[in-house]
Amino acid sequence: MNDPGRSDRRLPRRQLLATSVAVGTAVTAGCAAVADVIGDIALEDVNILNGTAQTRNGAVSVTGPDGSTLLEESFLVEPEEEEVEEDRTDSWLAYPEIFDGAGTYTVGIDLDAADSIQGVDERELAVDVTDLAEEQIFVGFTPGERNDPIEIFVIEAFTDIENHIDGG
């Protein structure tokens, strides 16, 4: 359920761009460890990244191992672009302090019908989180001819995202 004292954390665009550039440079230079350290600054328990060229409106829900609803919020996430405007929301959303223990979490994404990706507007997946200090749930909206344009997975390091999104 929504906690009135907690809201999603939106990374300031400049911070997101600076982090992305730094991560890209570090990975290109073969410094994956540096990229992971930088990524640890940006990642929270549940993260959503819109890698498409269209704004996506929808809702995210996370159910904990005991069946309780830990997150249930509407979102608007902008497309990932190099040129940004100051009055827009971000292409990356991060939700902190969601996990309540190790176990299986069910993540649900329900996009508005007009914001479907390749005809897909919802996805639900149960994922295991065993190390609360190291693991994060990641939701990626991905363009192109993909089997799963809404991807949900658990990562331990920032550089793990590329392996999932690129089909690795």
Kindly report, residue by residue over 92-141, the tens digit of the pLDDT. Answer: 899 999 999 999 999 999 999 999 998 999 999 999 999 998 899 999 99
pLDDT at residue number 19:
56
**Strand ranges in the chain using DSSP code E only, listed in sequence order:** 9-10, 46-50, 56-63, 69-77, 92-95, 103-111, 122-129, 136-141, 150-155
Instruction: Tell me the β-bridge partners of 159.
Output: none
Specify the higher pLDDT residue, 51 or 88: 51
Quote the pLDDT of residue 16. Answer: 53
- Choose among 155, 77, 82: nearest CA to 117: 77
